Structure 1
Amino acid sequence: MPARQDGGALRGGAPRVVWCVGEHDPRTVSARSAAADLLKDDRPPHLVWHPGTGDIVQLLPVTRAARLLGGRVGREGRVCVQIMVVGQSRAPFTGTLLTGVDAIVQWLDTWGVPRRWPAGPPLPSPQSYHARRSRKDWARGGHYGASQVPLVDRPDPGAIDIRRITGPDTPVAPIPKPRAPLSDGATPPRLLPRPPRPQEPVRPQEPVRPPQTDPPPGRPLHPAPEPVPVGPSSAMSN
């Protein structure tokens, strides 16, 4: 049952695969039934897989983007395979038989998807709503849970055992170590007070000049008389 419309052309980049869970009860829902629901909602992935029965339904060619993740992120990568697993986040599907998982992973190998999980194991639900969704991890390519995809607000697939999918030799991203506690007898660092600021030198005040007053109104301004020479009386003219 191929989908009529895909997500468009792929944009290039590291090849990757995203594992999703559709919150279906695997005891009552088949792969074909889940695929039909996704087609009805216009959200087809590339594959729908039932890990209990091993049934696989391919809805789109891997050379085209799927529509399950939505947005631009689903078109990133030389391939960005989107797999819908018939299961539930609260009961990780890796606790079942995983019939057909080897065939799926070997098929992904042929498309260059490396067997690694750059973001580490997916978190359990509902903690997975607060997963990192790092662009740096996403750019490396490999295997991801839907809760680890940037800009995608999904909690699935839950706390799956990634080594049951990609093998026991799968490298796992290191978990950040907590800070080491202080040993007995060690003194915590002291908080030093802030040194006082140097005082600025006091500048001498300039003398205050008396304000210049204007002449009273109504009195005319006369020029100053010319100076009279002072000397012997004989030098003076009549």
Structure 2
Amino acid sequence: MADAWLPGAGRIPARQDGGRLKGGAPRVVWFTSENDPRRVSARSAACDLARQGRPPHLVWNPVTGEIVQLLPVTRAACLLAEPVRAEGRACVQIVVIGLAREPFTAGPLNGLERIMRWLDTWSVPRRWPAGPPLPSPQSYHSARERRPWARGGHFGASQVPESMLPDPGGLDVHRITGGDAPMMGVPRPRQPVGEQTDPPAALIPHRLPRPAAEPVLTPGAV
């Protein structure tokens, strides 16, 4: 039986979640925290998100390999809007400590295989139905179509229906799901409504405040 909590991950159980899941194809959505992974820990980012009432399921620092879980995968998380956050028998929301303009797949991915094996137990297909996420700022104009979303699999936050987020940027998706992972063709951005590429801050609910002093991390488990 699949474990609702990632074995071996640190835990900061959140008081708030996104409610019951509605069923359907299982999927995972990748976000970025817009922080330097060499200076911000997964635990500190997870605490900030919990305090803001916007907990994801996992927060992962790919440089140190630190993983913190806030919610069981059997409940919806809070970074996506309703109703999409509760769609799927699993809709795993993962925040990666990193920057959309500097895709995290260009660096170390310590701890990724542990996450992927856990997602496999929840039958999340290792595929990208909407293709690889667009780089930022082009990703503000991603298509965000319902048809690929309904298939389940892996998505960037910029590809989720009704989302206004640009992250996680232009990922090398094969480093996440493997070289043989099926996907559709390279996505094309939709026609922008105006010239503005940066949405108001209110549309990016998971962004973390910049700490007054960002301590250098000491790699290690939580």
TM-score by length of 2: 0.78
The answer as to 2:135 corresponding to 1:118 is no
Which residue pairs with 1:235 in the alignment? none
Q: How many residues align?
A: 177
Match of 1:78 in 2: 89
Per-residue CA deviation, residues 15-39 of structure 1 (Å, 9 max, x unaligned), is 0000000101112100001101101
Residue 21 of structure 1: aligned partner: 32
1:5-84 pair list within 5 angstroms: 5-84=16-95
Give runs of aligned pairs for residues 135-150 of structure 1, distance below 5 A. Answer: 135-150=146-161
Q: Which residue of 2 aligns with 1:92?
A: 103
CA distance in 2, matches of 1:164, 1:175: 16
Structure-2 change in CA distance of 1:106 and 1:176 (3 Å): closer
Deviation (angstroms), 1:174: 2.2
The 2-side partners of 1:172 and 1:15 are apart by 16
d(CA) in 1 for partners of 2:73 and 2:186?
32
State the TM-score, normalized to the length of structure 1.
Answer: 0.73
Equivalent residue for 2:115, pick from 86, 100, 104: 104
For 1:169 and 1:123, the matched residues in 2 are separated by 20
Q: Which letter maps to 1:45?
A: P
Q: Does 1:153 align with 2:164?
A: yes
Deviation string, structure 1 residues 21-58 (Cα, Å, up to 9, x no partner): 01011121000011011011110000000000000000
CA distance 1:96–1:176, shift in 2 (3 Å): closer
In 1, the alpha carbon distance for the partners of 2:187 and 2:166 equals 22
Listed as ranges, the gaps of 5+ residues in structure 2 are 1-11, 189-222
Deviations 1:188-212 (A, max 9, x none): xxxxxxxxxxxxxxxxxxxxxxxxx
Question: Which amino acid is 2:21 matched to?
Answer: L
> What RMSD in Å do the two structures reach over aligned CA positions?
1.2
